[in-house]
Amino acid sequence: MTTNSSEQAHEPADLSFNSKPIGDLFGQLPVDPDNFARCLLSEDQVAFYRANGYLNQVRVLTDEQCNRLIDEYKRFLLWSDHHHTTHGKDDAHRLNFPEKDLLYEYHSNQSADPNQVVTHMLGHWRVSPLFHDLLFLPAITVAVSQLLAAVHPSQQTLLPVRFWHDQLFAKPPQHGGEVAWHQDYSYWTRTEPMQHITVHIALDDQTEENGAIHYVPGSHHWHRIEDGREVPLPITDIDFKDMESIKKILTSEELAQFQPLPALLKKGHASFHHPLTVHGSYANRSSEPRRAAVLNYFVEGTRSDTDEPLLKGIPAVLRGEPLNNRFFPLVFDPKWM
């Protein structure tokens, strides 16, 4: 049966069917290998990541690109820069665009406390051409490949990379909330092996006053042993209400090493962190919003460790099967260099 044009016009466009950049943010992927090579990190940067579990202040976006992403960001917020209306968790139904059902998660305020507002969402790459293209940006993916390889048992210098999922974290002025200390892989044990990385991109200058992301150097070595296997630390606060809750489960040695440092990212700059690196961010008490885009990746060959859907609304990948369908596109392959 043929679908008429009026029905097609009302069908939400799912950008996960596009496994390459659309071209809205930076054009297309380079054809010349030298254009990928220009994005390589220095040996000192890779060594810092290996030693500390994170790397700060890598320029990945121009100010103009940041401004365009901020304009796009506003369609996902239920508050404006200086007018605040907050709700709570799982309230994507309040958004005013048809593609909202393609989001994996949406919380206009994950803490549900009107004095501690953090808007958090996943899956916007499927509905926004700009955020879709961001995950393919070579300035990000080449560095991701290097840093994944730096801590990988294969001892390669570069590895093929697939996209895992995206996130947006936004804190309004004056009463933007905290994001409690955590390790990312604590939320991702449904995928294995652990060969992931997170990229946190500042769309505004981040300061200690506006809730900059902080890292605990060396915490990427912290884990527990269960049934003879290394596992991440347990989740202690999924709703961002108790910043320091992780300290209740740290050993005395870990507590002694718990000395967070602010990344103080400049606009358009990114930090890269290991899936076990403990990180978090304090409240925004400044007069301006603090907005960040987050991208999560893994090495090609990462597998599902569950028979349930890995993200809301997408087909399940059976336990033991690799994550290589259209929801986890290949974003960089060393063969391209």
Dihedral of CA 53/57/62/64: which sign?
Answer: positive
**Tally of domains within the chain:** 1
Q: Which residues pair with 169 in a beta bridge?
A: 120, 292
pLDDT in tens, 175-211: 999 999 999 999 999 999 999 999 999 999 999 999 9
Separation CA 273–CA 54 (nearest Å): 4
Q: Using alpha carbons only, how large is the chain's radius of gyration in Å? A: 19
Do the beta carbons of residue 108 and residue 168 sit within 8 Å?
no
Separation CA 314–CA 16 (nearest Å): 11
User: pTM for this structure?
Assistant: 0.95
Q: Which residues pair with 199 in a beta bridge?
A: 272, 295
* Residue 41 domain-assigned (yes or no): no
What's CA 169's distance to the chain center, in Å? 9
* Residue 242 domain-assigned (yes or no): yes
How high is the pLDDT of residue 184? 98
* Residue 337 domain-assigned (yes or no): no
* Residue 332 domain-assigned (yes or no): no
Domain boundaries, position 276:
51-80+98-327
User: In this structure, are strands 330-332 and 303-304 parallel, antiparallel, or unpaired?
Assistant: unpaired
pLDDT < 70 regions, the chain: 1-12, 80-86
How high is the pLDDT of residue 114? 87
Report helix, strand or coil for 246.
helix
How high is the pLDDT of residue 81? 56
How high is the pLDDT of residue 2? 42
In the block, which residue shows the tokens 């054009």? 27
* Residue 74 domain-assigned (yes or no): yes
* Residue 160 domain-assigned (yes or no): yes
Phi, psi of 140 (to 5 degrees): -95, -50
How high is the pLDDT of residue 8? 43
Do the beta carbons of residue 123 and residue 103 sit within 8 Å?
yes
Separation CA 218–CA 183 (nearest Å): 12
How high is the pLDDT of residue 87? 73
Q: What is the CATH number of the domain that holds 188?
A: 2.60.120.620
H-only helix segments in 53-204: 63-73, 129-134, 138-150
How high is the pLDDT of residue 72? 95
* Residue 37 domain-assigned (yes or no): no
How high is the pLDDT of residue 3? 43
* Residue 309 domain-assigned (yes or no): yes
